[in-house]
Chain A
Amino acid sequence: MNTTTTALEPLFTILSQSYTTLETTFFKIPGSAVVARYVRSSHQNDPGRTVLEVILIIFAIRTLMQSRTRADNSGKHFIKFEEKEIDELVDEWTPEPLGAPLDERELAEINNSPVIVGPTGPKPKLSNGKTVTNLASYNFTGLAGNETIKERSIDTLVRYGLGSCGPPGFYGTQDVHIQLEKDIADFLGTEAAIIYAQAFSTISSVIPAFCKRGDIIIADRGVNFAIQKGLQISRSTIRWYDHNDMKSLEQVLESIEKERRKKKGPLTRRFIVTEGIFDHDGAMSDLPKLVELKVKYKYRLILDESVSFGSVGRTGRGLTELYNVPASQVDMLVGSLANGLTACGGFCAGSNVVVNHQRINGTSFVFSAAMPPLLSVAASEGINILRSTPSILTTLQENVRAVHSILDRADCITIPSHPASPMIHLYVRMPSPQHLLPTTLPSPSMSSTSGKLSNPLSPHSRDPEVFDADLEDRILQDIVEEALAQGVMVTRAKRLRGQELTEVRPSIRLAITSALSKKECEKAASVVKAAFTKVVGKQRR
C-alpha cells in the first residue's frame, strides 16, 4: 500500500501542479469567478444537480462529436462486407432494362394520334392528305392562325429574337412579359399576375410554393394530373371530398374544424384546391358556393381555370365572370394561356403578396427560362381580341349548345360535362346486362344521399364507378377512327393509366371552337353520333 503511494507520488505532484495552473488561468479569464461561484453554490445546495449537469455536458459533447450526416451504414440494417464480396455482388447484380420495349398495343397507343401537316385550326390537313373538321384541338376562341396575332408576333420576333435566353430573375424578364402580366391582372380584375412558361407546370409549382408540410389541403377527388403532382410535391396533409360535391366538401371542412377544436393545435395554412371546369370530365364547379364555404371556414382557394379561362363567361374571363364572383375572392387563380388564348404557358393571378411570393418560391418560375417574348405578345393580343369581341364567346356557346343538342339525344352516349363547357367528354353507354357498366352516372345528389361520409383520407370515393377501362378504350378508339374516316377529328382523352390517383373513366374529349360555324358543328356532331351508334351497335352484336 505504502509502496504504491510512493510510486504514485510524482504523478500526484504533476496532477496538483497542473490543477493549480489550470485554476489560475481559469480565474484569469474575465467573468470566470461568477461561473465558479455558481458551480460551488449549486453543488452545495443540491449535489444531485451537479451529477445531472455533468451528464448533460457529456451528452452534449457526444452529440457534437457525432457526424452530422447520418449515414446509412451506421444503421442496424447495414451489413458489413469484405471488398471481395462487394466485387462479387457488383458482378452478380443485373439491372432491369431502363425502358422495356413497347408491346403491340402500347405501340399502337402512341401511333394512333393523327399527324397534322401544316397549321392546325378548324380545318387542318392530315398526313394522309385529307382535310378534316377539328373537334379535338384546344382552340375554343378560334384564335389559332389569327392574322393580327401572327402579325404582332412577327413584329415582336424581329425586335426581340425568339428565346428569352434566361430565367426571369437573371435578365429574362422582358417588358412584354410585364405587359402580359398586367393584361391578365386587368382582364381578371386581380391585383397582379405571374406567368409561367408551360401551363402543365404552373399549378404543380404554385401549390408547393404555398403549401408546406403540416398545412392542410382539401382537394376534389376529380382534380387533374398536374394538381395531383403539385399535391404530391407539397407534402401537406391532404383530405379529399367527393368530386364536385359541395355537401361532401362542407362535411370534410366541418370534420376538420371539429378535429382542430378538439386538438387545439396551432393555426396552420388551409387550402381548398379544385378546378373551374374539370379536365377529367368537363364538370363545372359551383364557384359561389365554394367561395361561401372558403370564407366561412377560413380557407384559401386555389382554383385551376386551365380549361375555363378563355372559354366561359361573357368575354372569356372564366368562371368568375360566369358566376359574377370577383376574381379577388379566389386567392390563387391559375389558368392556361395555351387553351383559351392559343399561345403557350400558364399564369397565376392573385394579390400582390401571393404573386410576389411565387417570384422566389415558384420552382418552375425561378428555375426555368422565361416564356419566348413573341408568345407572350400573342397571349396579350389574344386578351385584347377577347375584350373587344364578345361575339367570339357567344358563337362558342351557340356551337356548344348545337353540339349538345345532337349528342344529348344519342342513347349510347353519356355526357358528364356541364352544358356550358366547350370541352365535352363523351362516355360510351352500353346497356348490355353482361357488363358492369353503370347506365347512369352517379350524380352528385345521388352520392350524398347515401348519407355516409366518404373517407377524406383516401382519394378513392366510397362507391367508385365501375367500368371496364380496356374495353371502353378500345371502343372509343374505334369511334375516333370511324369519325376520322368520315372527316371529323376527335380524340380520346389520353390519360396515364396507373399513374392517375384514381382510375379515370375513358372518354372522347371534344373541344368546341368558335372558328367553326353552327352548321359545321352540327354536321360534325352528327358524324360523331353516327360513329358512336355504329361502333357500339357492332359491339352489341
Chain B
Amino acid sequence: MAIQPASPTPSIFRKKSTPTLSTAASYLSAVSEADARARAHGGTPNSTPALSLSSSVTSSSEDTVLHEKEESNDDGLVYPKVPPTSEQVFTTVHTEFGHCANDTYRYTSQYNPTRPVKGVPEQDPPYYILLTTYISYLLVICFGHLRDFFGKRLKVADYRHLLAHDGFAALNSDFDSFYTRRLKLRIDDCFSHPVTGVPGRTIVLLDRYSPNYNKTMVPSGGKTRGLNVSSYNYLGFAQSKGGCTDADVESIKRYGLSACGSRRECATLDLHLQAEALVARFLGMEDALISSMGFATNSTVIPALVSKGCLVISDELNHASIRFGVRLSGANVRMFKHNDMKSLEALLREVISQGQPKTHRPWKKILVIVEGLYSMEGTLVKLPEIMELKKKYKFYLFIDEAHSIGALGPHGRGVCDYYNVNPRTVDILMGTFTKSFGAAGGYIAGNRDLINRLRLSGHSGAYAEAMAPPILSQVMASMASIMGITLPRAEKSSPSRGLLVRHSDSTLTITPEEPPAYPGNALASWLPPWMPTPESMCDGSDSRMRLRRLAFNTRYLNRGLRKLGFITYGHDDSPVVPLLLFNPGKMAVFSRMMRTRATPIFVVVVAYPATPLVTSRVRFCLSASHTKEDIDTILQASDEIGDILDLKQGLGERWPLQEIIARAVELVNMEEVP
C-alpha cells in the first residue's frame, strides 16, 4: 500500500519554501549532493534525486546515512520504498526516524472512560504446546545434568570455575549457574548482541560468530543494518540529528561532560535545578528530583520512603530495582497478583485489619508500588480502580512510569494523562529518561516536602555522582519538545528562524510569568538561554507527530498480530507487544529467522526466569520512528515465521495479511476488536 501524497501540513514537515537563509543554503547543498550521489550509483531503482533529497538533512550537508559508506537499499531500510513528493522535505534521517507523511497513520492514545479497563484476555495455548514445552525443558535439563556429571569428571579444566580448587570454594555454584550454562548458552547468539550507531528506527549489528558453541563470540567484522524493534525508543528521540542533539552539543561545549561529584557535595549545576523544575512541570507535580541512573532511582530512594514498621504492597511483577530498594529499606513486603485489583483489595483489608505481624500494631505507612506499563507483559496499570481503593484504604501510591512516561497519553505525560487522572492525587511518580527521552537516569516527583525529604535522606544525593550535563540537556530538550515551547512575544513575531539562539549567557533566572496550567506548553524561560529551540519544537508539531505516530504503530501491530492469529499479552495501547512463543526452542529460531530475512528485523526474546517457565515470548518495542510500512514488514515476517513455527494459536476472528495491511487505519480506529 502506497503512501498517499497527502496534502502536506506544516505540522509534520517543513516546507522547502521556508524563507531561512541557512535552510536555503543547506537545501541547495543537499540538492547538489543528493544529485551527485544519485549519479554515482544510479543502479538502485529508488535513487532518484528527489528521493535522496528527502532523506538528506537540511541543517547540514553531511551524509544521509551517517558516516557509513553507501549502503544499498535492497532491504528498504536506508531510503523509503515510496519516494516522497518534491513538496516534502524531511528533517530526519530515514534510518533513524522514518519518513511518514500520511496523516491518517496517526492515533491518539487515550483511555475511553465508558469502557472498563481491560487488557487482552490471556489465552492459553493448546495442550500439546504446553506439553511439548515442558518436555523440551525436561530434555534440556536432563542433558544438562548428564553433561555436567560427565564433564566434571572427564574435562576438569573446563569445569574449574564450578569446582572447589586450591582451597577455594567454587565462585559460582553449578546449581545457581545451571540455567545459564545449560539453557541460555545454547541460544546465546540471541542476547547481548553488540551494536553500533544510533538505536533508532534501524540499528546496525556487529556480526559475530562462535567457534565453540557460544562459549565465546568472535566479531567477524561485518555489519548488518536491520529494523529495530527492541530498543526502548518510544518517541524516537534516539537521533543523531535534530533539536535535541544540537542542544546536547551546545551543552558539552559549555559545560563539559561531568558535574564531578555528588549533588549534595558540590556538583549542583544550574542545569540540574532547571531540569528538575522542568520535570516537575512536565509531570504536573510540585517538585522533582533527578538521579543519574534509572535503576538507582528506585534502589536509592525507596529506602528513604519506607522503613521498619511500614508495609510495601508490590505487584508481583514489579521490576528488580523496586525489589532491590524495598529489600534495602527493611520494610515488610506483601505482593498481590499482577494487576488484579480484587487481590489487592483483599490484601489491603487483611493487612490493615491485622496490623504488623505478631505485635498487631497498626502499620506506620502502607505504600503500594505499581508500574504504569509492565514491560514484560505489556499490561497497563488499572489506575482508576487503584485511585478508588486509595480513597478508601488511605495507602500511598508509588507509580513507576519507567516505560509509560512519554509513551502514553494524548500529551505524553504517562498513565495519569492516559486515564485523565490528576497527577497530584498520586503521591509519587517515578520514571526514567532512558526510554522515551533518549537520555539516561531517572526522576522522582511528588509534593515539595516529600521531595526535599528524599533529597536529604535518599542515598543518591549524598553519595552518587550527579547527572552529566549533556544528559540533562537531552532531558530538557526532549521534554520541552513534547510540551511545546511558548516563546516570549518579541521573538515570536520575528521571521521564522531555523535555530533560535536566544541572548547569550546570563545567570540563573526563573521568571514567574503566568506559567501555563498542566499540561500546557513550557515557557522559554524555563530552559537554559543558550538552548536552541527550532520552530518544530516550539509549536509542538514535532512532538504531536511523535506521540500520534507511536500510538498508531502500537495499536496497529497489537491488533494486526492478533488478527493474524497470534497470542499476545497486554493492552492495545502498550508500545511493548509481547508475542507468545511458549516452546523454548522456538525463541532462538524466531530470533534468527527474523534476523536473517531480506529486511532484517532485530527482536528481543525473553524466557524464564524473566517470565514464567512456559510463556517464553518475543517482545516488540515500537517507536514513533517506525513507519506504517515498517509495521507491515514486521507483520509479514511474523506471518511467515508464525506459519513455519506453528505459532498462530489465538482464538478470535482472523484476517489475511493483505487485508490487515489494507485496512490498517480502520483496524486502529476500531473501538474494540472483535
Contact = CB atoms under 8 A, between A and B. Distances in A.
A169 B189 CA distance: 11
Given A72-B357, A166-B199, A343 B258 contact: yes
A73 to B, nearest CB: 7
Interface residues of A, number: 119
B172 A95 contact: no
B252 A150 contact: yes
Interface stretch (A109-117, A462-470, A530-538): A109-117
Contacts of A123: none
Contact of A233 (B170, B328, B350, B363): B328
B256 A499 contact: no
Interface in B200-250: 200, 203, 205-206, 228, 230-233, 237-241, 244-245, 248-249
Interface string A358-387: 011101101111011011001000000000
Nearest to B605: A170
A114 B195 contact: no
Interface in B235-275: 237-241, 244-245, 248-249, 252-270, 273
B197 A159 contact: yes
Nearest to B216: A352
A106 interface: yes
Given A200-B459, A298-B168, A367-B295, A158 B241 contact: yes
B73 interface: no
Contact of B66 (A99, A115, A134, A159): A159
Nearest to B230: A171
A538 to B, nearest CB: 24
Contacts of B303: 499
> Which residue among A121, A158, A199 has the maximum number of chain B CB atoms within 10 Å of its CB?
A158
A110 B67 CA distance: 46
Contacts of B327: 232-233
Contacts of B537: none
B492 interface: no
Contact of A364 (B296, B428, B462): B296
Given A197-B293, A353-B171, A164 B440 contact: yes
B508 A136 contact: no
Given A98-B365, A175-B195, A113 B263 contact: yes
Nearest to A492: B265
Interface string A488-502: 010111111001000
Interface residues of B, number: 136
Given A79-B354, A161-B238, A106 B471 contact: no
Nearest to B96: A161
A269 B171 contact: yes
Interface in A157-187: 157-166, 168-178
Interface core residue of B232, B245, B295, B357 (most chain A CB under 10 Å): B295
A95 B366 contact: yes
Contact of B169 (A178, A269, A493): A269
A200 B191 contact: no
Interface stretch (A50-58, A81-89, A425-433): A81-89
A491 B260 CA distance: 13
Interface in A74-97: 77-79, 81, 85-86, 89-90, 93-96
A518 interface: no
Given A139-B260, A165-B435, A170 B456 contact: no
Contacts of B456: 102, 106, 109-110
Contacts of B324: 233, 363-364
Contact of A154 (B244, B253, B265, B357): B253
Contacts of A359: 192
Contact of A78 (B192, B194, B354): B354
Nearest to B168: A298
A95 B354 contact: no
Given A173-B193, A344-B257, A374-B470, 6 more contacts: A119-B254, A120-B261, A127-B270, A137-B260, A171-B199, A201-B293
Q: Which 10 A-B pairs have the closest CB atoms?
A: A99-B450, A99-B453, A200-B464, A198-B293, A368-B295, A137-B260, A136-B266, A338-B465, A369-B434, A165-B231
Interface of B: 66-67, 96, 161, 164, 166-172, 176-177, 180, 184, 191-200, 203, 205-206, 228, 230-233, 237-241, 244-245, 248-249, 252-270, 273, 292-296, 299-300, 303, 305, 319-321, 324, 327-328, 348-350, 352-354, 357-358, 360, 362-367, 392-396, 427-428, 432-435, 437-440, 446-447, 449-457, 459-465, 468-471, 474, 505, 507-508, 602, 604
